Amino acid sequence: MAGKVSRIILCYTRQHIFIQDFLITSFQSHLLGAVAALLSAFCWAVAAILFRRIGDRITAMGINLAKGLVAMLFMVVLLLPGFYSGLASLDTNSIAALALSGIIGICFGDTLYFLALMRLGARRTLLLGSLIPVTTALIAVVFLGEQIPILAWLGMALAIAGVTYVLWQRAPRENTQQKPCEKYRSGLFFGLLFVVANALGIIATKVGVADIPALEATFVRQAFAIAGLTFWGLMVRDLLGWVTPLREGKLLKILLVASLIGALLGTWLSVVALKYTYVAVAATLNSTSPLFILPLAAFWLKERVNWREIAGALAAVTGIGLYFSSLRLL
């Protein structure tokens, strides 16, 4: 009898240890994913500030083109072992979708992002960027017939309200009338177009990456984006003017650092987050760049951050979290 009881206790103890080890491992995995997502958001916030610092001396198109060339260079190195075999597996429909995504989302979308960044600053532009998931969902509902729960609609409404609360404020007076200055108005216009272009690019990417590794798909998108920017520069006869400022060593160094931090490290960390934690958690934490940009702007750029911006950023991130959690992606 005593031996039977001992075996039962031993079996229970082993099961308890196994469950405990499993829970610890699972917790560590999700913690790693959450930290990676937060670091990704931090990287994009830092990159936005660095891009903003060189925006007065190089055009948005020049920044976008140079950033794309840097990203492609590193992707070629990463893809080198199976470069030709990976690209040879792409079918015509996937290439067409990825080409459309690269031209709309990167060629035009990122150019619009930099145009908005130079006019609105890093804080407001990143806050506008938090509307990309919301805009993507709205386009998917209208054109793809996707169904979204009521709670997700509430999350989208909260995110839009948070962004609107920050951006709907009086800009400096123009002449004697109380209306937004031309720079602020054009920044909002470019920012909203940036959000729509990126949302359309995401939907096109979703169609194109169905059976394709992410790195190869990213390479194709970037290749068509660079081709589009090059064609654009040749059409307006200003391609050399876009990249000539990069002859200045300091400008080139800042652009390289910003591209590595944002386009390479930030993207890689977001993939790590998706691998090790829930999609909803990763997507929500990846959208916290507007929160990181506030202390960075205050301590690094010595800018004044008001409570309106803090409240709006918190509302936007909370709304995005509510939206993703309501989709039952856990």
Domain interval for residue 206: 32-326
Looking at per-residue pLDDT, the higher value among 20 and 316 belongs to 316
Q: Tell whether 200 is covered by a domain.
A: yes
Residue 169 in domain: yes
SS3 labels along 137-186: HHHHHHHHCCCCCHHHHHHHHHHHHHHHHHHCCCCCCECCECCCCHHHHH
* pLDDT tens digit sequence for 197-252: 988 988 887 777 666 776 777 788 889 999 999 999 998 888 888 878 778 888 88
Evaluate whether residue 127 is within a structural domain: yes
CA distance 305 to 54: 22
Please give the helix or strand (H or E) that residue 18 lies within, else none. Answer: helix 2-54
Q: Write the DSSP symbol of residue 119.
A: H
In a domain, 13, yes or no: no
- Kindly report the average pLDDT of the chain as a whole number: 78
**Per 3-state DSSP, what percentage of the chain is helix, strand, and coil (rounded to 5)?**
85, 0, 15
Kindly write down the DSSP assignment for every residue of 234-260, as one continuous string.
HHTT-HHHHHGGGGSHHHHHHHHHHHI
pTM above 0.75, yes or no: yes
Helix 109-129 vs helix 307-326: crossing angle, to nearest 10: 100
Residue 230 to residues 59, 222, 233, Cα–Cα distance (Å) = 14, 12, 5
Q: Report the number of distinct structural domains present in the chain.
A: 1
The answer to whether residue 26 sits within a structural domain is no
Tokens representing residue 68 in the block = 């794309």
pLDDT tens-digit profile of 23-39?
A: 345 556 667 877 888 89
Asked if residue 8 belongs to a domain, the reply is no
Q: What is the largest CA-CA distance in the chain?
A: 96
Quick check: helix, strand or coil at residue 212? coil
Highest mean pLDDT among 165-174, 177-186, 247-256, 280-289: 247-256
Flag whether 3 is in a domain. Answer: no
Joined tokens for residue 328: 């039952």
In a domain, 9, yes or no: no
